[in-house]
A and B are shown apart, each in its own frame.
Chain A
């Protein structure tokens, strides 16, 4: 439905996601992704965190997402986070392992940077495999069933619905600017022009939303949007949830065992 968002999960073959994971109940997948992230964040031991990448990779294989682009997406972080990770070995005091330009890198700092990188990658990979394969609309319905407030779910649905429309509008405006000789550079003219572009998009968005509300009222909108999606937890979902819980328990047990040593 949303090309901008599903472009992210390029290669998604059908509404449920390509792999068998797509047939697991969406609510179970959302809860599983959250539980996995919490467990991984709670773990500290490096071997356990490395081990946690395995279930995340298994989920990726089962999700039907294209492995290459998804792994690239997983590894991509904001430059400021990368920057912090690179600096950590030099700012955490501890046993020195190597020196660059007179700056000492500590073993502890390096370990912490690796720990953060492993945690972040495992958690986000599991999230993309479990939840990113859903249709955004299914995500909204599942969140509603998980008792997320209806207003927030509606806001999510509207946002998802109009991201593509507005992106196309943005590209149209950009093309019109290009046709008139606009070339982005580092100058005031560029920033002013892009600012005007954003202002124009806001104005058009507002006017569009007025038309939408009018059309909704015209069709008998009374302030309630019914969310109807049938979701049933079946035997396969319970099996998946049990297996996944066992994996999480295993990770926690390994963490505790290593912490005790």
Chain B
């Protein structure tokens, strides 16, 4: 979900930059030097995950996994996902530079919201229950991201509304897929290494 330079109106771009910067600053506050290796390696993991394509019918989609990123990183998801988007723009030509703030907010704010709503349950419950919460969180994160993208477009102009609606509908299968993947990932991680949830994110609470 990379919006490109020039697509949004100036007020939306500026508001996105302010919100993105505020989120990154808040996330950095939870990252003492001790946590940087963990956050960096996890940030790299989510970067690699975004290169993974999963089949859907005759086509395939690439993953975002921002819900899972929120569950693992908490507020630190903001700087971690920002770094990913920056690298993607500079080295892969995805997205843009003036819209970096908007794109960061659209991806990272849902991650933090999911961590607020489902983080505690994922941390405390049994693997099976945690997986259900993670599934809800994974799907919700994509729904919110799509919604924020649609909102950014709608605030730019009335003419974007039909496209924004169709984009939301087209992402419903992706919500299901990301939900299933997040649930499976959390189910496994809870059994193998339960302290994964709350190692970086705990500092944030």
Contacts and interface: CB of A to CB of B under 8 A. Distances in A.
Interface of A: 4-6, 8-9, 33-34, 37-38, 40-42, 70, 73-74, 76-78, 80-81, 83-84, 87-88, 91-93, 109, 112, 115-116, 118-120, 123-125, 127-128, 131-132, 136, 139, 149, 151-152, 154-163, 165-167, 170, 184-186, 188, 190-196, 198-203, 205-210, 212-213, 216, 221, 223-225
B155 interface: no
B117 interface: no
11 contacts: A74-B93, A88-B159, A112-B159, A119-B6, A159-B43, A162-B40, A195-B185, A198-B68, A199-B185, A202-B72, A206-B199
Nearest to A70: B93
Contact of A205 (B13, B44, B87, B183): B44
A69 B189 CA distance: 38
A166 B83 CA distance: 16
Contact of A81 (B3, B86, B92): B3
Interface of B: 1-7, 10, 13, 24-25, 28, 31-34, 36-45, 47-49, 51-52, 54-57, 63, 65, 68, 72, 79-80, 82-84, 86-87, 89-98, 149, 153, 157, 159-164, 166-167, 170, 177, 180-189, 192-193, 196, 199
B129 to A, nearest CB: 16
SS class of chain B's interface: helix, strand, loop or mixed? helix
B83 to A, nearest CB: 5
A205 B83 contact: no
A128 B97 CA distance: 11
Given A156-B86, A194-B52, A80 B170 contact: yes
B41 A206 contact: yes
B96 to A, nearest CB: 6
A33 to B, nearest CB: 7
Top-5 shortest CB links A-B: A158-B40, A195-B184, A119-B6, A199-B188, A199-B185
B187 A199 contact: yes
Contacts of A206: 38, 41-42, 193, 196, 199
B189 A116 contact: no
Contacts of A223: 32-34
B186 A186 contact: no
Contacts of B34: 213, 223
B189 A199 contact: yes
A223 B36 CA distance: 10
B41 A208 contact: yes
B83 A84 contact: no
A87 B163 contact: yes
A207 B91 contact: no
B138 to A, nearest CB: 9
A157 B41 CA distance: 10
Contacts of A6: 91
A132 B89 CA distance: 9
Contacts of A221: 33
A5 B86 CA distance: 12
A120 B37 CA distance: 34
Q: Residue among A38, A78, A119, A199 with the most chain B CB within 10 A?
A: A199
B135 to A, nearest CB: 9
B189 A203 contact: yes
B33 A202 contact: no
A184 B54 contact: yes
B31 A155 contact: yes
Contacts of B4: 77-78, 81, 116, 119-120, 124
Given A84-B160, A116-B7, A202 B44 contact: no
A119 B193 CA distance: 46
Nearest to B171: A80
Contacts of A155: 31, 36, 39-40, 43, 79-80, 83
